[in-house]
Structure 1
Amino acid sequence: MSYIKKIQDCYPELTKSERKMADYILTNRSEVSNKTMNDITAEISVGDATVIRFCKKIGYSGFSDLKIEIAKEDFSKRYEYQSEEMYYDKIFQDSITVLNETYQLIDSNDLKQTIQYIAQAENISIFGVGSSGQIGVSFEKMLLRVGLRGKAYNDAHFQSQVASIMSTSDVVVAMSLSGRTKDIIDSVRLAKQNGAKIIVLSNTTISPLSKLADVLLQTPVNEFINGESIEGKIAQLSICETIVRGYELEHKADVLEIREKITRSIMDKQVE
């Protein structure tokens, strides 16, 4: 039985406060999986105990259990293909959609500020774990192509150590679609305390990580149950490419020479 049917069946037995929770989920179910219990209790003015009682009344062990059920149902509907032979139409259409949505979210002023920060930085440190950590490594290589020496750190302990010795001349680029990865938040908070500028790539403006940002570059992808999605990678990489190209436009003469040097350095590695 779907969570919606469970809520509807139990609705007459819910208290006034529990009905506020039910109404919120039925109205905002596409957003629930990207929010914490604290987010929701603050929005609808109910206590944690109300949320827990509500979840148990409709058959779930707690809020996390309900969030997973909501995300599962949304994921299943999203990937219902009209024809199994043409399933790849959906994959490519989703990729096109996420590029358009990422484009719509770009703020030119935030982008200019980001380029200014990385151009002036003595050290550029890129923090990410999991899939975001892999994108961070790609970003490091993209920066090198235009003469910027960034360093990607995927290990949480190493991130913390690097953050502890940062100063006002440093920049952190923190990547986390959810914005709720504890290790990243801890390291970024430490870097910020030491005066480093913080650039965040995340899909939400209300997460703990986003609130630490000097500049937030927003992506449209929520990976709560769809981890390692191609859409998430496309969104992050397109923003990384936009940053690099923006820097290149502002430093065109210098960058062209650097690109030539790097290209020549790897030509001998290729087989004729």
Structure 2
Amino acid sequence: MSYLKNIHDTYNLLTKSEKKVADFVVSSQKKILHSTMQDIKRATMVGDATIIRFCQKMGYTGFSDLKIDIAKEGFSAPQRSEDSFIDTIEHKLMDAIHDTRALANEEHLKQAVTMIHQAKRVFIFGVGSSGITALDMESRFLRSGLQVKAIIDSHYQAMNAALFDEHDLIIALSLTGKTQDVFDSLQIAKKNGAKIIAISNYVLSPIAQLGDVILQTAIEEYLLNGGSLSGKVSQIFAIDLLITYYELTYDINGIQMREKVARSVINKQIN
């Protein structure tokens, strides 16, 4: 049964406060996937218990269970049609690049590369799929002659953040901008004076709001397509813009740096 029909059928059984939650969910629809309990409480002026009771009357164990059910309705698996699924995937990846390009802000890139150049140490924070992208970014920086450190374990992020100061810089990767572990570590680092470059879809997200500068990606992720290749492509494109701008700004000889790296690993290949 559709969650909207479920709400409709149960609406008259709800209390006045629970109806406020129901109205918010219906009006928000898929946007609710990016909402938290705090968002609902602020919008409806009800307490946690009311939200939980509403979800349980709908047949869900809690708010997360409701969000998963909404995500299932919005999820569309690849279907065979007149258009080849190969073309569909190609278009998604191309759209990821085009949409991220449309959001690219050269002034923000300029601020970001200045922060990288001035930092004594540069770290990249990301977990899950964004953690894998953080490792890619570390490798990409290395080929430009810049040694940075990707930290993808949340405990190590917090431990390092506790020792950061105003000379340190964090590049934080999170498509949603709501990754709790990364957010917690960034708060610690921020209190210690560290600078932050946030790479995220949403400029008003908690992680983006901690950033001294924001580089925006352009892929909206839902619960069931988290870690999508489109999201990774969007992140990598934004990262490549940042690193290329850094190389151009500080006249870094990319070919010379790449030659050094290539010579260091050339004998690692099997003849």
Select the residue among 125, 132, 135 that pairs with 1:134: 132
Q: SS of the counterpart of 2:172? A: strand
TM-superposed CA distance for 1:174, in Å, is 1.4
TM-superposed CA distance for 1:200, in Å, is 1.6
Q: Percent identity?
A: 43
- Correspondence list, 1:185-264, <5 A: 185-219=183-217, 220-264=219-263
Conserved? CA contact 1:98–1:235, under 8 Å: yes
TM-superposed CA distance for 1:85, in Å, is 8.7
Shifted more, 166-175 versus 221-230: the winner is 221-230
TM-superposed CA distance for 1:205, in Å, is 3.3
TM-superposed CA distance for 1:184, in Å, is 1.7
Structure 1 segments, 4+ long, off by >6 Å, are none
Q: Which residue of 2 aligns with 1:34?
A: 34
Provide Cα deviations, 1:187-224, integer angstroms capped at 9, x if missing partner: 21121111110112223334332232112223233242
| Structure 2 Cα separation of the partners of residues 213 and 92 of structure 1 | 32
Unpaired stretches in structure 2, ≥5 consecutive residues: none
TM-superposed CA distance for 1:139, in Å, is 0.3
| Structure 2 Cα separation of the partners of residues 17 and 251 of structure 1 | 58
- Cα 1:212–1:5 shift into 2, 3 Å: same
Shifted more, 110-119 versus 95-104: the winner is 95-104
AA matched with 1:231: S
| TM-align CA RMSD | 2.4
**Taking structure 1 as the reference length, what is the TM-score of the superposition?**
0.88
TM-superposed CA distance for 1:44, in Å, is 3.5
- Cα 1:179–1:173 shift into 2, 3 Å: same
AA matched with 1:24: F
Q: SS of the counterpart of 2:169? A: strand
| Structure 2 Cα separation of the partners of residues 163 and 179 of structure 1 | 18
TM-superposed CA distance for 1:128, in Å, is 1.4
AA matched with 2:171: V
TM-superposed CA distance for 1:260, in Å, is 3.6
Aligned residue pairs, count: 270
Conserved? CA contact 2:169–2:194, under 8 Å: yes
| Structure 2 Cα separation of the partners of residues 19 and 264 of structure 1 | 67
- Cα 1:253–1:128 shift into 2, 3 Å: closer
